[in-house]
Chain A
Amino acid sequence: MNWIADLWRSFIGWLAESTEPVYNWFDGLLAFLPRIPFGDWIESLVDWMKNTEFIANRFNDLRDFIAFISTDIFLSFFQLIPPIIFILILTAVSFWFTRKKRAYGLPVLVFFGLLLIESVNYWNDMLLTLSLVLTATLISIVVGIPLGIWMGKSNRVQQIVTPILDFMQTMPAFVYLLPAVAFFSIGMVPGVVASVIFAMPPTVRLTNLGIRQVPTEMIEASDSFGSTSLQKLFKVQLPMAKTTIMAGVNQTIMLALSMVVIAAMIGTDGLGRQIYFAVSRNDLAMGFEAGICLVILAIILDRLTQAFNLNKMK
């Protein structure tokens, strides 16, 4: 087979050589095009924001606030609970959610999965990751649901926000690390911020979708009885959109989890960091242990939120 590849390569070489003048002539057409340094512009914008005291202070406030939620509220609280109690509580909760279906897979999974994490000594890393994910999810919900509602109620807002969400999701997550570090230094906080940017769009999108999917007759019924628009929102639109919104939140959690290894590159502690270390040290055993712990956490969070959702719908 090799002779085919060789033949092909020499053909391409010959083609490149013989068409070079043509190529150069066309290339000359764009000679006037200057380099557009928009990367520099963004960088100077970030620098300017960092150096403007007012803005920098606001970022510091935000930083403190996120640190307070992730470290002081979630993490410290989780660390107060002995692992075995934690495991039993979560098992009981998952049992409660699935009690009607009489399917006991989830409680079993929760129990043995968490036990496995404890046995390979990644309990504390798991708590760190859990805190990061929960903080990112919480912020995504608090910002994303109202934004989604606003989008759902206004076509103009939808037109403006949709491309921004597209941008947030398609921009490689690595790129967020740089401004996150610039504004929030290193550690848990920039990890949360990068995760929020990456993970929030599904919550916004699905809230918007959920609000828009409410059948017209229901909206008309609500209006025809003289509801105010807040009554309509809380008594009709949100209850109707609930399942869709929860599906968005579930996706947000999953996306936040997928950010933890990337966040480890800017010093966010937790399972992601263990995986990152394992890769840089070429330590296969450690990589798989930490990786499987992350998978277990992901499955538990996914199934728990889904079970919660189903449980809510009578």
Chain B
Amino acid sequence: MAKLKIENLTKVFGKRPKQALKMLEQKKTKEEILNDTGMTIGVNQASFEVEEGEIFVIMGLSGSGKSTLVRLLNRLIEPTGGNVWIDGENLAQMNDKQLREVRRKKMSMVFQKFGLFPFRTILQNVEYGLEIQGKDKGNRKEQALKSLALVGLKGYEEQYPDQLSGGMQQRVGLARALANDPDILLMDEAFSALDPLIRKDMQDELLDLQEKMKKTIVFITHDLDEALRIGDRIMIMKDGAVVQVGTPEDILTHPADDYVERFVEDVDRSKVFTAQNVMIRPETINLEKDGPRVALQRMRDASISSIFVTRRNRELVGIVHADEVSKAVKENEKNIRTLVKNEVPTVSLDTPINDLFELSSTASIPIAVVDENRRLNGIIIRSKVLAALSGSEVNSHELDS
């Protein structure tokens, strides 16, 4: 069962929403309704599901209804029609008390401009959610400190928000949202107010946290790079309606219509870039020199589950897998030759990204990039390909040549 199931969710801003609902059913557009009645369609019959543990990114141009939609999910805005099911319970039918309970226990929100309370210390800010649940002081503090440590803000407890930089303030916002251990995090352009470098840090940080916590995250952004970097699935909105839901690959390779295409247009530099623009330095072991123990140690250090094997002249031999190597170590096997698998997906330095794309999404191990002498030059991992498609993180110095 999906964690969140949204059915036909609609929000009309204006005096006679029932009338606007009728017009929507008659397939009138947002613009027609605005011109005829003066009412604004915030969200137009949106239906989608968010799975447990995924980062679900909602994207769209300004005014497409992203903020409205995310606020309908915790009913900060009352829906005009439709349902929101959380773990099989209908949010739209809840009374105030039940709604408060859901907000306290199941979902928290992170805001674009942080929404911190300036008169409270960082610790008190993070404690807020627990405080209003009536948790006792010690308990509250313990949980708040834990969540501050999680976002790397140990030692700032007694400062006030205005003493912190934007990035740190948003970490506080994140810590505050995490403090009452919700299942669902709603993040409305949470990183949009940060400058690009900090923003990237925060995205990485969020991914790290997500690795540990496995929350269900609904993340709003109007930035495709960000969406591709962090999204497990992406939903694209236009004029309040859902245009497309899919994995980053789907969105990039099969845009549902012109609108989506316009989004990804920028990114369509896939023909220009080749493997050497996105490959990263591989971890390797030397077939002639290194034994299973070294191989295992290297994999541990780099936290990877397989490692490429080369000869002294960097010629690619194959790959070994951690589980087999560790077995060999236990059995006191000194030679690694028997463990090497020769079937490794390889591409040449000038393979276009487009082709890498499909390979990398099906391959379970990194793709090796080799030159004409089968020497290992680098490896391709999926996230790098995606990042490159979104227009960032290419090895530009190699592009010049």
A interface residues (Cβ-Cβ under 8 A, vs B): 215, 217-218, 220-228, 231, 235-236, 239-240, 242, 314
Contact = CB atoms under 8 A, between A and B. Distances in A.
A235 B359 CA distance: 54
B29 interface: no
A235 B128 contact: yes
Contacts of A226: 99-104, 129, 132-133
A215 B108 CA distance: 19
9 contacts: A217-B114, A220-B76, A221-B111, A221-B117, A224-B74, A224-B76, A225-B129, A240-B118, A242-B119
Contacts, number: 64
B132 A220 contact: no
Contacts of B99: 226
Interface string B107-118: 111011111111
Contacts of A224: 74, 76, 103, 107-109, 186
A225 B111 contact: no
Interface string B305-334: 000000000000000000000000000000
B40 interface: no
A217 B115 contact: yes
Contacts of B117: 218, 221, 236, 239-240
B45 interface: no
Among all A-B residue pairs, the 3 with the closest Cβ atoms? A226-B103, A226-B104, A217-B115
B132 A231 contact: yes
Interface residues of B, number: 30
A215 B117 CA distance: 10
Q: Is the interface of A mostly helix, strand, loop or mixed?
A: helix
Contacts of B221: none
B128 A225 contact: yes
A40 B119 CA distance: 54
A239 to B, nearest CB: 5
Contacts of B129: 225-226
A228 B102 CA distance: 13
Contacts of A235: 128, 131-132
Nearest to A231: B132
Nearest to B180: A225
A228 B100 CA distance: 8
A256 to B, nearest CB: 29
A231 B128 CA distance: 10
Nearest to B97: A228
Interface in B86-111: 99-104, 107-109, 111
Contacts of A231: 132
A33 B51 CA distance: 77
A239 B100 contact: no
